[in-house]
Chain A
Amino acid sequence: MSERRTRLLVGVLAALFIAPLMVLLVQAFADSWRAPGVLPDQLGWRGFEVAFGSARAGDALVNSLLVAFAATAISLVLGWPAARVLGMRRLPRNGFVFLLIGLPLLMPPYLAGFGLTEWFIRLGIDDSLAGIVLAHVTFALPYAILILLSGFNREVEALEEMAATTGAGPARRLAWVTLPALRPTLIAAALLSFLVSWSQYGTSLAVGAGRPTLPIVMLPFIQTDPEVAAALALVFLAPCIVALAFVARLQRTPL
């Protein structure tokens, strides 16, 4: 009885998740789809042809990937020590610093990007992928820190102490104790940083000076040509699906 109810619940939730995606999937291949019809009149590849042709989705995809990977790497490297200090409560004013780190998330991304552009022009890194990466780090880094610090706790510290007493130096403690203990947290932080960068629109628009990334390329089509927008959305969704599959797999293998 309760198993049946669980199954029903899972079914409903899955439907809520899948239904919009199904529309997207159909839309992307619907060369012609008029309002009253439940199914498209004509299927085809026009959406993708336009997307990867005149809309430069290929360039945008490469740019988005490069920027997201770079922003993730920088966020993790910068976020690690910050999260460690915060998570182990080594600061006299932990709560205040915690608040400061979260502060960028309250700022509208376009405004942050706008302000950064003025600086980037003076520093000579405007109109470059590096500039976009830095702008994305503004938003990816707080998320990375907030997630990572949940992994740094007394237990990890205790294990590091133990490793030190067995003769392991700092590098070995990191490799043998800290990284294995923080593996799930690190993966979560990486995934979120990546997706934050991946979906940035405002910052990329302000800083990028027209350099294509997937959201920038996609948005205009939402109004003008839903089929192209849907095709681009599918490309845009790919890493989310990969991430989801990854996490699902991770849950099955005990850490």
Chain B
Amino acid sequence: MSARLSIAGLVVAPRDSPPVLRGVDLEVPAGARLALVGPSGAGKTTLLRAIAGLEQPSAGTLDLGGVAQAALPVHRRRMAMVFQEPRLLAHLSVADNVALPLRADGIDRRRRRALARERLDEVGLGGFADRSVTGLSGGEQQRVALARALSAEPLLLLLDEPLAGLDPNRREALRRLIVKTQTQRELTTIVVTHDRSEAAEVGESIALMLEGRIVQQGDPREMFERPGSGAAARFFGVSNLLRLPGEPDGAVWAIRPERVIVGSGPTSALVIEAVYRGTQVRLLMDWQGQRLEALVSPVDAPTAGERVAIELPRTGLWRLPGRSGAAPVPGGLTSTG
């Protein structure tokens, strides 16, 4: 069971301060898993809280499964939220924490316990029902919080940085669990993260939030390889925003650093800096007076001061939409350097 989420023109402006959400438009189809990504302070958590009803919007509409949510208090919205911190009740057992939504629904104690155990099995905490929540590790606590959210049988699941603060192994395990559970239940889900790789791993689609607005939404590949603006490109690690010779002045072209071919090609660049990063070497180069970044294999990587041949392959280049409008990708870059 799940529902479509539609948000239009949502504004949240705390008293005496500039608006945090400046007109958010967002569509999440029923059963979809969306990663909401953006730098710190972009308004991701505020948007999630506004959806849950924990922030009061001053304008805009919010609609879940065709039902307007604006007039509904938090506890009447059919959503569940996993906060960045687990927010467990220390005076209750693990099972009683998980059963909290069932208790709110008026389900009797026996049935509550049975359902809570099912949810705990689902998140891989089978034997934990009677444990105290205070003795659990951070990852276990976050799983209990997830089980609690699932036991509410929500139409929409909201996860705020659920993987933050976990070590890599636990992080990966919880990520898989979230993806698996969401897929099995076909539960409409929004996962907030500030990490672009995590967004790609956890989201079927990604919405990028910058300064209180959703600026682009699409599948991960599209977001990483065809960001729609300079700011979006920078967020997704496209550090190369270039002017190409023979193209109009206002046109900006983007290429991901890992797509730049180093060692062969029709043009050359001067290596300013070469940083060894374990699996790769990051090259910072000067190409025709412009900054060009590339990621290459540590084997035979050039060093600072070297002049290297480079190629900017046609398939990796795209033009950012600007004032001069969209233009077709040029027929390969063969200019001389």
Contacts and interface: CB of A to CB of B under 8 A. Distances in A.
Given A158-B83, A158-B85, A166 B100 contact: yes
A159 B87 contact: yes
Contact of B54 (A164, A172, A177): A164
Contact of A167 (B54, B85, B105): B105
Nearest to B151: A166
A163 interface: yes
Interface in B190-243: none
Contact of A168 (B80, B83, B91, B104): B104
A49 interface: no
Contacts of B104: 166-169, 172
B192 to A, nearest CB: 14
Residue among A162, A166, A169 with max Cβ neighbours from chain B (10 Å): A166
A225 interface: no
B34 to A, nearest CB: 18
Given A158-B83, A159-B89, A164 B100 contact: no
A167 B81 CA distance: 11
What bracket does the count of chain B residues touching chain A fall in?
A: 20 to 34
B100 A180 contact: no
B37 interface: no
A124 B36 CA distance: 65
Contacts of A100: none
Nearest to A167: B104
A246 interface: no
Interface in B44-92: 52-54, 73-77, 79-81, 83, 85, 87, 89, 91
Nearest to A172: B104
Nearest to B132: A254
B79 to A, nearest CB: 7
Interface in A151-184: 158-159, 161-169, 172, 176-177, 180
Interface string B129-160: 00000000000000000001000100000000
Contacts of B53: 164
A255 interface: yes
A162 B149 CA distance: 10
Most buried by A among B74, B80, B103: B74
B101 interface: yes
Interface in A87-116: none
B91 A255 contact: yes
B20 to A, nearest CB: 17
Nearest to B158: A165
A105 to B, nearest CB: 32
Contacts of A159: 87, 89
B75 A169 contact: yes
A158 B76 CA distance: 18
A165 B152 CA distance: 9
Interface in A223-250: none
Contacts of B148: 166
A164 to B, nearest CB: 4
A163 B91 contact: no
Contacts of A166: 75, 80, 100-101, 104, 148, 152
11 contacts: A162-B87, A164-B73, A165-B52, A165-B74, A165-B75, A166-B101, A168-B75, A172-B103, A172-B104, A176-B89, A177-B89
Interface of B: 52-54, 73-77, 79-81, 83, 85, 87, 89, 91, 100-101, 103-105, 148, 152
Given A165-B54, A166-B148, A172-B103, 11 more contacts: A158-B85, A161-B87, A164-B54, A166-B104, A166-B152, A167-B152, A168-B104, A169-B73, A172-B104, A180-B89, A180-B91
Interface of A: 158-159, 161-169, 172, 176-177, 180, 255
Closest 6 CB pairs of A and B: A167-B104, A164-B74, A162-B87, A166-B101, A165-B81, A168-B104
